[in-house]
Amino acid sequence: MTIRFKRTHPDAVLPVYAHPGDAGMDVCACEAAAVAPGAWALVRTGLVMELPEGYEVQVRPRSGLALKHGISLLNTPGTIDAGYRGEIGIILINLGQEPFQVTPGMRIAQMVVAPVLHATIEEAAAVSETVRGTGGFGSTGTHKRG
């Protein structure tokens, strides 16, 4: 599969897989930004993408930024649809204790290409029963290990 990118900013960096076999490709900022603790910012990449129909790109945080600085993405994972032709922007959030400085060329997120499946939607008067039933958040409880 080929994904085409157009640079819209002179400091834009094309995404790259850091290692063979990586699922995510690093995406970089094309501008400087300061993100205060508890705040978020839309950081530009200077890239427009042409993604083939039938695929999406999921935008995810970088584990190193999360561990070292408390930096994540506000809507993780974000989805970029195949029909979108605007500039890719990354919404960083600073969950850390110190201000975070983004610099041009800094790796700020990763993008994972995934196939899109469309479901057929059908209204039903009832749905089947399961062992779990309506149990939600934390409903699986503590399991004993044997």
| Domain CATH code at residue 47 | 2.70.40.10
Residue 116, CA atoms < 13 Å, CB-side half-sphere: 14
Is 85 inside a domain boundary? yes
Contact between 28 and 47 (Cβ < 8 Å)? no
Q: What are 4-48's pLDDT values in tens digits?
A: 999 999 999 999 999 999 999 999 999 999 999 999 999 999 999
Is 124 inside a domain boundary? no
- CA dist 88 and 8 (Å) reads 10
Number of domains in the chain: 1
Is 129 inside a domain boundary? no
Tell me which of 70-74, 122-126, 135-139 is least confident.
135-139
Domain of 49, in residue numbers: 4-115
What's the sign of the alpha-carbon dihedral 16, 46, 113, 137?
A: positive
Is 64 inside a domain boundary? yes
For position 114, what pLDDT does the model report? 98
pLDDT at 99 over 80: yes
Is 140 inside a domain boundary? no
pTM of the shown model: 0.86
Mean pLDDT, the chain, whole residue set: 94
- CA dist 89 and 57 (Å) reads 13
Question: Among candidates 57, 61, 59, 75, which has minimal Cα distance to 116?
Answer: 57
Is 93 inside a domain boundary? yes
For position 128, what pLDDT does the model report? 93
Q: What are 100-129's pLDDT values in tens digits?
A: 999 999 999 999 999 999 999 999 999 999
- CA dist 99 and 36 (Å) reads 4
Q: Which structure tokens are listed for 92?
A: 């960083």
Contact between 36 and 101 (Cβ < 8 Å)? no
